[in-house]
């Protein structure tokens, strides 16, 4: 390699020899330093190296060469360096002995070079001045940062044949100091770039949606997240606050997580651009994004699971014969209804019913006919009540009707039910006189009966109605 007139290196490394290598920014800085040394100093052979970790001037402090740049070396010399690096050659800190120190550099005269210095590549040039530079002399200028050595500049073959002096070393040491800072920053950037590239690959190819949110905005969205919500990337980035993407019930929670990013999980609903709703599981992870706290949302579409669970729950709460809610649903839900009525001080009624002469249907006409009677009467009763009312198959031929916010005119509903069931029975089961016995109990803020008390009153009143037949 040689430096061009612009100060940049030209030429190509020998690709046949492996070397550890660093990223492009570090390599470029090393090459710039080599050219600067050649142009601003008398030295014609320059080798600049960057270590994989910082070392100190001690025998037990070691590192490996992560990357290098060189100028003025013969092809065989550079091949030897590359083989040394590829073979995991060790750099030791004990070569920086105080006895070799000149200013902030280290001049090692011929015959004094420690065995730890490797590879050794003496100059092929002959030097004739008695007190001048010798072919095996070595000058090392460490690249130091915070008192530690992260690389070095190694030079020899001075044009003037002179040994170094502090005054002549000053500019080289300044170059090495500036380069140390640049190398550290470049290494940090390259680490961030590698992490970002890997992160982008993983997120862009993930089966889950990924959003990174910061303050009130979306800062990153992978393709899966765009598909889940139906927005394009520009629309999503322009939206604020970002939590309007989710159910209103969970926006306060998400806003708090945005203000103080912290890990957690949440099942919620996503609001699509087209107004559709999708069931989601969110995994919230606190992170740093571009130097500031942020929140990463891993978003899993659980719509299919939720639909399956709702279907199974619906089946668990439904009577398979009539399609009405069953006793399990009543037991699970009635306390919630009672508490709602207590909170708002609104009455509700429990009506208990029993089919008259149903046993005779089974005995005389068979159980299949009995099942048909139950199904048809269930549909008949369902059709006489409001959508907000519950009709429940409580067991056998008993039906419960829960009537929220009612307390008056129950007798009107009861009479209507008696009439329609009787008329239906006359037409569809003329062999048996079908009827319906009804009793009810109403909770009010004045009576404040317990649930057990309400059921007992309704049951007693139903049997009283039965006795009238």
The single residue listed with the structure tokens 């945005």 is 258
**pLDDT above 50: residue 46:** yes
Cα–Cα distance, 81 to 18 (Å, whole number): 11
The pLDDT, as a whole number, for residue 23 is 56
According to DSSP, residue 149 is labeled: E
The 3-state DSSP class for residue 64 equals strand
- Domain residue ranges in the chain: 2-193, 206-305, 318-467
For domain 2-193, give the CATH number: 3.30.450.40
The confidence score (pLDDT) of residue 445 equals: 81
For residue 193, the model assigns a pLDDT of: 55
Whether residue 432 has pLDDT greater than 70: yes
Q: Do domains 2-193 and 206-305 have the same CATH topology?
A: yes
More confident residue, 260 or 39: 39
| The CATH number of the domain covering residues in 206-305 | 3.30.450.20
Q: Look at residue 9 in the predicted model and tell me its pLDDT.
A: 38
Distance between CA 255 and CA 370 in Å, rounded? 57
- Of residues 311 and 70, more confidently modeled: 70
Pairwise CA distance, residues 193 & 122, whole Å = 39
Categorize the per-residue pLDDT at 204 as very low, low, confident or very high, splitting at 50, 70 and 90: low
Q: How confident is the model at residue 206 (pLDDT cuts 50, 70, 90)?
A: low
Per-residue buried b or exposed e for 361-381, using 16+ beta carbons within 10 Å of the residue's own CB: bbeeeeeebbebbbebbbebb
239: phi then psi, degrees, rounded to nearest 5: -75, 135
CB of 103 within 8 A of CB of 73? no
DSSP code string of 284-330: EEEEEETTEEEEEEEEEE-HHHHHHHHHHHHHHHB-TTT-SEEHHHH
Tokens linked to 55: 């070392």
Q: How confident is the model at residue 287 (pLDDT cuts 50, 70, 90)?
A: confident
pLDDT of residue 196: 54
At 139-168, the pLDDT tens digits run 999 999 888 999 999 998 898 899 999 988
CATH architecture of 318-467: 2-Layer Sandwich (3.30)
3-state secondary structure of 269: strand
Tell me which of 262 and 466 has the higher pLDDT.
Answer: 466
Reported confidence tier of residue 455, pLDDT bands at 50, 70, 90 = very high
Question: Is a pLDDT exceeding 90 seen at residue 383?
Answer: yes
8 A C-beta contact, residue 442 and residue 348: yes
**pLDDT more than 90, % of the chain:** 51
Q: How far apart are CA 123 and CA 127, in angstroms?
A: 10
CA 128 → CA 87, 108, 136, 157, 417, distances in Å?
A: 36, 18, 13, 12, 126
Confidence of residue 134 (pLDDT cuts 50, 70, 90): confident
Q: 399 near 438, Cβ under 8 Å?
A: no
Question: What is the predicted pLDDT for the residue at 168?
Answer: 85
């Amino acid at each position: 390699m040689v430096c061009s007139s612009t100060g940049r290196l030209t030429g190509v490394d020998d690709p046949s020899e492996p070397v550890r290598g660093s990223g492009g920014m570090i390599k470029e800085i090393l090459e710039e330093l080599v050219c600067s040394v050649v142009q601003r100093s008398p030295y014609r052979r320059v080798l600049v190296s960057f270590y994989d970790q910082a070392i100190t001037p001690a025998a037990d402090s070691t590192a490996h060469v992560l990357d290098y740049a060189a100028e003025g070396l013969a092809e065989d010399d550079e091949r030897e360096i590359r083989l040394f690096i590829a073979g995991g050659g060790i750099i030791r800190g004990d070569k920086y002995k105080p006895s070799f120190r000149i200013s902030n550099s280290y001049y090692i005269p011929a015959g004094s070079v420690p065995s730890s210095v490797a590879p050794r590549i003496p100059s092929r040039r002959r030097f004739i001045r008695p007190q001048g530079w010798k072919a095996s002399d070595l000058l090392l200028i460490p690249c130091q940062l915070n008192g530690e050595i992260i690389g070095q500049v190694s030079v020899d073959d001075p044009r003037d044949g002179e040994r170094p002096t502090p005054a002549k070393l000053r500019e080289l040491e300044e170059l090495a100091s500036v380069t140390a800072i640049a190398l550290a920053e470049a290494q940090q950037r390259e680490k961030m770039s590698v992490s970002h590239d890997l992160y982008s690959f993983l997120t862009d190819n993930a089966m889950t949606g990924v959003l990174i949110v910061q303050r009130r905005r979306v800062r990153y969205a992978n393709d899966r997240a765009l598909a889940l919500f139906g927005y394009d990337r520009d629309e999503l980035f322009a939206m604020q606050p970002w939590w309007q993407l989710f159910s209103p019930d969970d926006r306060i929670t998400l806003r708090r997580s945005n203000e103080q990013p912290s890990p957690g999980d949440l099942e919620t609903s996503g609001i699509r651009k087209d107004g559709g709703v999708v069931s989601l599981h969110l995994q919230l992870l606190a992170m740093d994004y571009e130097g500031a706290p942020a929140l990463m949302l891993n978003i899993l579409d659980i719509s299919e699971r939720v639909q399956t669970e709702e279907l199974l729950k619906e089946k668990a709460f439904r009577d398979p014969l009539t399609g009405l809610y069953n006793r399990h649903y009543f037991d699970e839900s009635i306390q919630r209804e009672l508490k709602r009525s207590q909170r708002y001080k609104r009455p509700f009624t429990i009506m208990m019913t029993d089919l008259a002469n149903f046993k005779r249907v089974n005995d005389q006409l068979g159980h299949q006919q009995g099942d048909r009677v139950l199904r048809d009467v269930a549909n008949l009763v369902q059709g006489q009540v409001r959508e907000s009312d519950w009709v429940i198959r409580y067991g056998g031929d008993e039906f419960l009707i829960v009537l929220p916010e009612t307390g008056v005119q129950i007798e009107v509903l009861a009479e209507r039910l008696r009439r329609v069931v009787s008329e239906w029975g006359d037409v569809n089961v003329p062999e048996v006189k079908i009827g319906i016995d009804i009793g009810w109990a109403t909770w009010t803020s004045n009576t404040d009966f317990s649930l057990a008390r309400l059921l007992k009153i309704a049951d007693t009143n139903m049997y009283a109605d039965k006795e009238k037949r």
